[in-house]
Chains A and B, each alone.
Chain A
């Protein structure tokens, strides 16, 4: 049951806060062209199936993959749509993997496309409407609208991140300077990545701390932007990948695990996660993915990590939860340069989500960049040779984590 899956190529479109020069299908086409440019032997007829995803609330178009059929080259071909909110990109990549490994006759090469054009809609309405159903219940039961408005106005995702920040800071005693240091590293890395959004080559810690608060303890300078952009990845079988590219990247482990609802709870029930920095979902995802990939000691075996972290405190939290560093030692790793581009375990050399956040696409850009680093074709390529890498994604209210573990050798175990 199942077979090895390899990533042959990955491509991006240019990201910006307003891509007003293209419509959604044209944006997707840019990324697909960039992806196929790297594998010149692949024609559109060689692509057997498609997987597509984005968060539809932001553009005002339901089921946009129907509209962009011809732009993707998907006319009269199998197509599946997968969306899971903030982790859409990761879920699309995982669906691409499953489509190939299922060994359905005639489906060997799959193109996965994840995109978002947030400037087309009102992002705060799109984000706030996640919780409209539950807010209206609490309102009906007596909590005044003013109190609920505070929860909504700050945006659902940032609220959750701020809660994680306070509990994490309580455990690890980090300061705002530690958070700013993470931001500076990310934005300087983004300056060397051609497709990133916030390119700030000369950013310093003082610049970041000089901005006002959004939600304590996060400041404006630490928050991720809202970008338009698209990402595409090409999944195929082991044999075909060897013809397409020099170094095929094998997907060895995937997982996407959700915990119970945080912050609001469903049906007025309140949050089940009393301590959001525990992150049961992340730990279980890591356990499943590393188990499939045969990784027993993540700290030693993983050479590069792209961790999804729109806010700097989350980056510190997840590099620990995903098993890369010991608990409470993450701030020290950033201070001593272990996670820098030329360090032992580089993290987020593309700038991470902190510099570019096209919500539908960002969870796919993480494994895509990690795969390109293994292939040696990334925009901000690290000097050491990367053999094993991971790319993760995170979804808002649930702490839903997607994780892909990749390597240049097929290590997936089959029962």
Chain B
């Protein structure tokens, strides 16, 4: 596969109730990304956006964002999944040879609508929606129970992940204020409000307002634009079946298949030793453990034993992950940006030393039905 480089990025600070309008946020993210990379509007040849009609309360949610997103007279399209999937489409456009610079942006503002109720519309209208038992929180409850049951784990093991991520988020200036808890303990997490047993409030990433943007370019142009390009050496994406009753909830088949595709492209045979850090998009704390096992970073059931602190053997989510703020449609893209920051050495107080090869993931659907994984390499 030819090389595609990430040459710039920008992310707005996450707020639970931002004082902006939608267009300002998008303009800030896209213009900031272009300015940081030292480029101009006329260099843009294609723009891919990631928004969702239901989360934005309007049909064709990218319709009026053409001007602020830099899409005027540029080849433009929209992927209605996570921001990380929009980056996949942008990557395909660069690999085709038709385009020289792609702008990827995604995000939404859940302070405008009740986010968890909107997730109900993803359920099957003939069987699941009438009884209303399945929504994203109860589905994660099913998943957490299945995982703990299969491998004999306790809720403390899951709560430790929430504690680690929230403490990491306290070092990340762009994470959500409410999620920056430097002194949190497992007791706090377990005693917080129960959303759907065994999932408690502090184990769930809070939906918040945010937009992020990334710039992609082919190899030759990337080397001219910046002297620290980060190369995408592998990508894998996969979707498993829909009905929760037909899936194996204690593991993630789609993440395993995506990892196989991505590792095959990037020539990785021993993920534990070859990957330096992982930024995984986890909407609930237990998903991080399930994903880490499916990615081959630990044996099945041994997820809690990975030393995933910032100064550990294999840091996972040094920026706090989606528990540090989950803007729908932007969270996956922010994970990619955080991985890029680590590789370029721009992560500030939560920098992991010597990070050269990273994984970033995104997901969409109940219990992560569709997963996407990137392998990113760079640095000298």
Contacts and interface: CB of A to CB of B under 8 A. Distances in A.
Contact of B2 (A1, A23, A53, A255): A1
B66 A83 contact: no
Given A56-B54, A133-B58, A78 B80 contact: no
B64 A91 contact: no
A66 B363 CA distance: 12
Nearest to A107: B261
Contact of A292 (B80, B85, B98, B241): B98
Contacts of B118: 62
A197 B239 CA distance: 34
Given A66-B365, A257-B74, A79 B239 contact: yes
Interface in A381-415: 395-398, 400, 414-415
A127 interface: yes
Contacts of A414: 97
A104 B1 contact: yes
A228 to B, nearest CB: 15
Interface of B is mostly: mixed
**Chain B interface residue count: which class?**
35 or more
Interface string A91-116: 10011001101111110000000000
A interface, how many residues as a size bin? 35 or more
B365 A257 contact: no
B1 A132 contact: no
Interface string A66-101: 111110001111111111111000010011001101
B242 interface: yes
A62 B52 contact: yes
Contact of B364 (A2, A63, A260): A63
Contact of B121 (A62, A77, A132): A62
Interface string A1-34: 1100000000000000000000100000000000
Contacts of B365: 63, 66
B62 interface: yes
A192 interface: no
Centre residue among B59, B68, B79, B124 by max chain A CB count within 10 A: B59
Nearest to A129: B59
Kindly name the residue among B74, B98, B365 whose own CB sees the greatest number of chain A CB atoms within 10 A.
Answer: B98
Interface stretch (A145-153, A205-213, A280-288, A311-319): A280-288
B291 interface: no
A260 B70 CA distance: 10
Interface string B183-197: 000000000000000
A412 to B, nearest CB: 9
Contact of B58 (A132, A261, A265, A398): A132
B241 A132 contact: no
Contacts of A55: 53, 59-60
A57 interface: yes
Interface string B68-99: 10011111111111000100110111011110
Interface string B254-267: 10010001001100
B93 A85 contact: no
B148 to A, nearest CB: 25
B147 interface: no
A258 B70 CA distance: 11
Per CB-CB distance, the 5 closest pairs between chain A and chain B, nearest first, are A85-B60, A1-B97, A266-B64, A102-B92, A57-B59
13 contacts: A1-B95, A2-B96, A69-B240, A78-B261, A82-B79, A99-B92, A104-B1, A127-B59, A257-B76, A258-B72, A261-B66, A395-B63, A397-B60
Given A95-B92, A103-B2, 12 more contacts: A56-B54, A67-B242, A76-B241, A79-B237, A84-B76, A91-B77, A102-B96, A131-B58, A133-B64, A258-B71, A280-B73, A395-B60
Interface of B: 1-2, 21-23, 52-54, 56-60, 62-68, 71-81, 85, 88-89, 91-93, 95-98, 118-119, 121-122, 124-126, 218, 235-242, 253-254, 257, 261, 264-265, 364-366, 369-370
